[in-house]
Amino acid sequence: MTEQLIIFIEIILIDLVLAGDNAIIIGMVASKFPAENRKKIIFWGISGAVVLRIVLTLFTAYLLQINGLRFIGGILLLYVVYKLYRDVIDEKNNAPKFQAKKKSFYNAIWTILLADFTMSLDNVLGVAGAAGNHYHLLIFGLILSIVLMAVAANLISSWIKKYKWIAWLGLIAILAVAIDLIYTDIKILI
C-alpha cells in the first residue's frame, strides 16, 4: 500500500468515530423539539460545526502545539454532559427541558456549538495528525466528517425520540471523550 492510501484509510476511520460524537450531541439536543424545530436545530448545529471545522483546520498546525487545549475542551464537554443529562435524560427535572420557545431554541443552539467546538477540535486534530503534509487528504477528511455528521444527526435524533437508552449511550460516549481529552493533556503536562 502506498503512504497516501494508508493515510486515506486512517482519515476515514477517524472521521467515522469522531463525527459520530458531534452527531450524538446534535441528535440528543434536537430530540427534545417538535419535528419542524428539530430540523432547524440540526441545520444550525451542523452549520456551526462546518464553520468551526473550517476555521480550526486553518489553524491546525498552531493548535497542535498548544498544551492545555485538550484539557479545556474536556472540561467544556463535562459541562455539556451535565447539561444534556438535565435537559434530555432526567425525567424528574421537567422545568429546564428544552421546549419550542425562542430562548430554549437558542440555548439548544448554544449547547450544540459549545460541544461542536470541543469535538470539532478533536476531529480536526485527529485528521490533521493523520494527514501530515497531505493537504488534499486533510480537506477530504474535513468534507467527509461534515457529511457523516449530517447523516448521523438526523438518524440519531429520530432514534432518541423512540428509544431513551440511545440517549444514555450517547451521554456515556461523550463523557468518555471528555475524560480522554482531559487525561491526554494531563499526561502530556506531567
pLDDT of the residue at 163: 79
* 129 contacts 10 by C-beta, under 8 angstroms: no
What is the separation, in whole angstroms, between the first and last Cα of the chain?
A: 37
Instruction: Name the residue with cell 447539561.
Output: 83
Give backbone dihedrals phi and psi of 68, rounded to 5 degrees, phi first.
95, -10
pLDDT of the residue at 19: 66
pLDDT of the residue at 98: 40
Q: How far apart are alpha carbons 85 and 90 in whole angstroms?
A: 6
Residue 126 maps to which CATH number? 1.20.1250
Q: What is the pLDDT along the chain (190 residues), one digit of tens a residue?
A: 688 888 888 777 667 656 666 777 787 888 888 888 888 888 888 888 788 878 877 776 566 567 777 787 778 778 877 877 776 666 555 444 444 445 588 888 888 888 777 777 666 766 666 676 777 887 888 788 778 777 777 777 677 777 778 778 777 877 777 788 788 788 877 6
Structural domain of 55? 3-189
Q: Which of 19, 13, 72 is nearest to 50 (CA)?
A: 19
Q: Which of 128, 130, 115 is nearest to 177 (CA)?
A: 115
CA angle 83, 32, 117 (to 5 degrees): 45
Q: Which of 7, 144, 104, 124 is nearest to 55 (CA)?
A: 124
Q: How many structural domains does the chain have?
A: 1
pLDDT of the residue at 8: 80
